[in-house]
Amino acid sequence: MTRNGGGAAFESADGKYLYYDKDPESDANSLHRMPVEGGQEVEVAPRLRRASFGVTAKGVYFMPDRRTIRFMDAASGRTSTLATLEKDVVFGLSVSPDDRFVVWSQTDRLTSELMLVDGFR
């Protein structure tokens, strides 16, 4: 679909654009879109947390880092910060089609245990 590679991808609600992340394996990941019928790709956001974006009829929700949720309005092209989270997002972001809910995974607590088992064979 893309000419220069890409990762996770979502089609816009009107079917006109494909939104995708670029360089998903690097720290320089960014969000792009291109017309489904062909044409040039356009950078939508210069920074994107890997696969952390969702597309609805109203616009694109995305995370430029581990704690910020931003929204780009499809009609105006304006981008605004919706939330700054208290905890890091592990991976991914999803948005309901009606724009009512945004969900993400976060790390609340990270623990491990070290155990010694006597007489283990």
Instruction: With cut-offs at 50, 70 and 90, classify the pLDDT of residue 28.
Output: low
Predicted local confidence at residue 62, as pLDDT: 93
Query: Does 79 fall in a domain?
Result: yes
Instruction: With cut-offs at 50, 70 and 90, classify the pLDDT of residue 54.
Output: very high
CATH value at residue 73: 2.120.10.30
Range of the domain at 46: 9-106
| Residues ≥6 apart with Cβ < 8 Å to 3 | 41
CB 29 within 8 A of CB 12: no
Mean per-residue pLDDT, 13-22? 90
Q: Report how many domains make up the chain.
A: 1
**Verdict on whether the full-model pTM lies above 0.85:** no
Instruction: With cut-offs at 50, 70 and 90, classify the pLDDT of residue 71.
Output: very high
Query: Does 111 fall in a domain?
Result: no
Query: Does 116 fall in a domain?
Result: no
Predicted local confidence at residue 110, as pLDDT: 78
Instruction: With cut-offs at 50, 70 and 90, classify the pLDDT of residue 76.
Output: very high
User: pLDDT digits over 97-113, tens only?
Assistant: 899 999 988 778 778 88
Instruction: With cut-offs at 50, 70 and 90, classify the pLDDT of residue 121.
Output: confident
